[in-house]
Each structure stands twice: as C-alpha cells, then as structure tokens.
C-alpha cells in the first residue's frame, strides 16, 4: 500500500476547502459494477457485437431491440450500493471541502451516497425520455421493461445517456471547466482517461495538486503531482474528514 502517497493526499485534503473530483468507472467497481477497459471490463466481454458499437447512436437507431438486450443485461445491475469512495466524497462535500464531483459514470451512485453537486458528463441510466418528442419517462421502462419501449407519440424511449457519436451537454461541460479551472486540488480517480472530450477537461486544471488515484497507469500519470496506483475505496477510506 502506498502509505507515503496516501499520507500526502490526506495532508493536502485536510488543508483545502476547494477540492474537485473527476472520476470514471473505476469508482464503481468496488460496488460490483465492472468497468470498461480492465481485463474483466465490459469491452472485453463477448457479445454479439462489440459493446462500444452497441453503445453508439447509429446502432441504437438501427437495432434498438439489440441495444436494449445489451442495456438490460450489462448496464443495469440491480442492488448495487455506493462504496467507500462514493461515501467519502459525499462526506468531503458535506464538510465544505469538496466543491463538485464530475463523473463519466451513468450509475447514479454518487447521488445515492449523498453527493449534491454531481456533474454527469455522460448522463444517467436513471433517467429516460422519448427520442421523438423528448417527453420524460421513468427509468423502469428502459431498465426493467420488455422489448423496445415506445412513447404515446410512437417514438422510441431512450436512456438519458451520451452514446458514442453524440455530443456531451455543453452547459455541463462548461460548468465542469469552471470547477476544474478554479480548483486548488483536482483528484482524478478510477478512469483510464481514454475517452474525449471528458478526459480533455483535466487540461483546464491550473493548480499544483493534480492527484491521480487509479489501479493502472494512465496517459496523464506524468502530468500528475501525485500518483497513487491503489484501489480508490482503500485510499479514500484512509482520508480523514
Ligand atoms: N480503484 C482504482 N482504479 C480502478 C478501480 C479501483 N477499485 N477499478 C478499476 N480501476 C481503474 C482501471 O485500472 C481503469 O484504468 O479504473 C479505470 C477504468 O477505466 P475505463 O474502464 O476505461 O472506464 P472509464 O475511464 O470510466 O471510461 C470512460 O468510456 O466507454 C466510455 O462512456 C464510457 O464513461 C465511459 C468512458
């Protein structure tokens, strides 16, 4: 265990009231949700089509029935709970030390842990809407229904997530940039920093306390002021609040 790295992170956290967290699927693996690119991640699992193809706008339009088979089988994991990492972030916000969680995850676990300011760059499977008239729908119809859910207008109901080939919400992106640009400490956790434009956001950080807590190496390790290659739940459980 990287005791020295964790001690340094803890010292920085104790002395700050302006922390921003940027995270990915590795934050939720300790809740039982597989990430995408680890060896046992979603993108290495066998499916009829490559998962990254299924999670695209053109595939959803072409074969919504197959999309929904994948969605209900692989994206919806019932009974998952926030883990130590989610809870510690909510506690740090509660204590006025953390300003925002910026997440690429679509599982809603940060909010379930009590975090208030959560910027969901890729949306959430806990929200749905009609792709034709945009009428909002409960998540039940997409996550636990049968077949292709349809709106009363005839349109296909879809999850409120950003599929490949789709743009991110500009307002959310601009708010995320504001938080990162002004942060004293930017903690990045549980993300391979492979996917843009989300990964590009960290270039807006202007401080000298860029922390990377990730099991594997990322393209940004050399930019970080502190790198801890450990399980994020373990690391965060050692941060005092
Ligand atoms: N603690 C720390 N790091 C972890 C843990 C853990 N418990 N579990 C996994 N990791 C690390 C892995 O080593 C990996 O580098 O988390 C990272 C997860 O990376 P990805 O699987 O690529 O997930 P993510 O970075 O969130 O992917 C970004 O890609 O397909 C899109 O929209 C999808 O939001 C997703 C985006």
In b/e form, how buried is each residue of 140-167, taking b as 16+ CB within 10 angstroms? eebbebeeebebeeebbbbbbbbbeeee
Residues 42 and 16 in one domain: no
Residue whose CA is at the smallest distance from ligand 1 atom 9: 26
Residues 204 and 235 in one domain: yes
- The pLDDT score that the predictor gives to residue 45 is 86
Q: Is any atom of ligand 1 closer than 6 Å to the C-beta of 38?
A: yes
Q: Residue 111 sits in which domain range?
A: 1-33+82-122+167-241
Per-residue DSSP letter, 155: P
The residues, any chain, with a CB within 8 Å of residue 174's CB and separated by 6 or more, are: none
Residues 54 and 146 in one domain: yes
- Three-state DSSP class for residue 196: coil
Residues 103 and 189 in one domain: yes
pLDDT digits (tens, 9 = 90+) for 112-148: 999 999 999 999 999 999 999 999 999 999 999 999 9
Residues 235 and 175 in one domain: yes
CA 197 / ligand 1 centre spacing (Å): 15
Residues 13 and 93 in one domain: yes
pLDDT digits (tens, 9 = 90+) for 194-233: 999 999 999 999 999 999 999 999 999 999 999 999 999 9
Helix (H) or strand (E) holding 176: helix 170-182
CA 24 / ligand 1 centre spacing (Å): 5
Residues 118 and 129 in one domain: no
Task: Give the CATH number for residue 130.
Answer: 3.30.1600.10
Report the percentage of the chain scoring pLDDT > 70: 100
Residues 142 and 173 in one domain: no
Residues 130 and 222 in one domain: no
- The pLDDT score that the predictor gives to residue 40 is 87
Q: How many domains does the structure of the chain reveal? A: 2
Residue 65 pLDDT > 90, yes or no? yes
Residues 29 and 86 in one domain: yes
Residue 46 pLDDT > 90, yes or no? no
Residues 107 and 209 in one domain: yes
Q: Is any atom of ligand 1 closer than 6 Å to the C-beta of 194?
A: yes
Q: Is any atom of ligand 1 closer than 6 Å to the C-beta of 138?
A: no
Mean pLDDT of 9-18: 98
Residues 177 and 218 in one domain: yes
Residue 159 pLDDT > 90, yes or no? yes
If pLDDT is split at 50, 70 and 90, which confidence band does 61 have? very high
């Amino acid at each position: 265990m990287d005791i020295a790295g964790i001690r340094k992170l803890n010292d920085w956290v104790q002395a700050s009231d302006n922390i921003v967290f940027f995270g990915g699927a590795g934050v939720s693996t300790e809740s039982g949700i597989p990430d995408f690119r680890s060896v046992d991640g979603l993108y290495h699992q066998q499916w009829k089509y490559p998962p990254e193809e299924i999670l695209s706008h053109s595939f959803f339009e072409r074969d919504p029935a197959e999309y929904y088979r994948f969605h209900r089988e692989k994206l919806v994991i019932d009974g998952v709970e926030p883990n130590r990492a989610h809870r510690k972030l909510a506690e740090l916000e509660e204590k006025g030390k953390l300003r925002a969680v910026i997440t690429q995850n679509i599982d809603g676990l940060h909010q379930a842990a009590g975090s208030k300011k959560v910027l969901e760059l890729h949306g959430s499977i806990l929200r749905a809407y009609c792709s034709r008239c945009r009428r909002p729908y409960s998540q039940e119809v997409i996550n636990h229904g049968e077949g292709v859910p349809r709106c009363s207008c005839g349109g296909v109901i879809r999850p409120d997530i950003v599929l490949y080939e789709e743009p991110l919400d500009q307002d959310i992106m601009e708010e995320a940039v504001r938080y990162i640009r002004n942060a004293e400490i930017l903690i990045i956790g549980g993300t391979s920093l492979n996917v843009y434009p989300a990964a590009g956001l960290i270039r807006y950080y202007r401080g000298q306390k860029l922390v990377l807590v990730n099991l594997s190496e990322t393209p940004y390790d050399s930019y970080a002021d502190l790198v801890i290659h450990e399980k994020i739940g373990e690391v965060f459980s050692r941060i005092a609040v």
